[in-house]
Chains A and B, each alone.
Chain A
Amino acid sequence: MADVPATAASRAGPPPRFERPGTLTFVFYVAALAFLIASIGNVDLSIERLANGIPRIGDLMGRMLPPDFSRLQSIGMKLLETFQMAVVGAALGIIISLPLAILAARDLSPHPLVYTAVRGLISFFRTVPDLIWALIFVIAVGLGPAAGTLALMVDTIGFCGRFFAEAMEETDKGPREAMTALGASRTGTVFSAVIPQAMPSFINTSLFSLEKATRSSVVLGLVGAGGIGIELKVAMDLFQYRQAATIILAIFVLVLVVERASTWLRSKVL
Chain B
Amino acid sequence: MRAAAVAIDRNAAAAGVPIATADLEVADLQVGFADLPVLNGIGFRVARGESVAIVGPNGAGKSTLLRSIIRLIEPKSGIVQLAGQEVLSLRERELRRLRARIGFVFQRHNLVSRLSALTNVVHGAQARAGGPRTWLQSLARSTVRDEAMDCLARVGLAEVARRRADQLSGGQSQRVAIARMLMQRPQLVLADEPVASLDPSAGEDVMSLFAGLMRDSGMTVVFTTHNLRHARAYADRMIGLAGGGLAFDMPAGAVTDARLDGLFGGRDG
Contacts and interface: CB of A to CB of B under 8 A. Distances in A.
Q: Do A and B form a real pair?
A: yes
Interface stretch (A38-46, A69-77, A182-190, A227-235): A182-190
Looking at chain B's contact residues, is the secondary structure mostly helix, strand, loop, or mixed? Answer: mixed
Contacts of A192: 112, 123, 126, 134-135
A126 to B, nearest CB: 28
Nearest to A185: B96
Interface string B96-129: 1111111110101011111100000001101100
A270 to B, nearest CB: 11
Contacts of B101: 183
Given A175-B111, A183-B99, 9 more contacts: A178-B106, A180-B99, A181-B106, A182-B99, A182-B123, A182-B184, A184-B126, A193-B123, A197-B113
A64 interface: no
B196 to A, nearest CB: 14
A185 B110 CA distance: 17
Nearest to B127: A183
A216 to B, nearest CB: 31
Interface in A164-203: 172, 174-175, 177-185, 188, 191-193, 196-197, 199-200
A174 B106 contact: yes
Contacts of B200: none
B16 interface: no
Contacts of B115: 196
Contacts of A179: 123, 126
16 contacts: A175-B112, A177-B106, A182-B99, A182-B100, A182-B104, A182-B124, A182-B180, A183-B97, A183-B98, A183-B101, A184-B126, A191-B132, A191-B135, A196-B112, A196-B114, A199-B114
Contacts of A197: 112-114
A188 B130 CA distance: 8
Contacts of B184: 182-183
Contacts of A191: 132, 135
B88 interface: no
Contacts of A200: 114
A152 to B, nearest CB: 29
B72 A183 contact: no
A178 B110 CA distance: 6
- Please provide the 9 A-B residue pairs with the shortest distance between their CB atoms, ordered closest to farther: A183-B127, A183-B100, A183-B99, A178-B110, A174-B110, A181-B104, A184-B126, A183-B96, A175-B112
Interface of A: 172, 174-175, 177-185, 188, 191-193, 196-197, 199-200
Contacts of A174: 106, 108, 110
B70 interface: yes
Contacts of B134: 188, 192
Nearest to B97: A183
A188 B135 contact: yes
A183 B113 contact: no
A140 to B, nearest CB: 35
Residue among B100, B123, B134 with most chain A CB within 10 A = B123
A179 B72 CA distance: 11
A180 B98 CA distance: 11
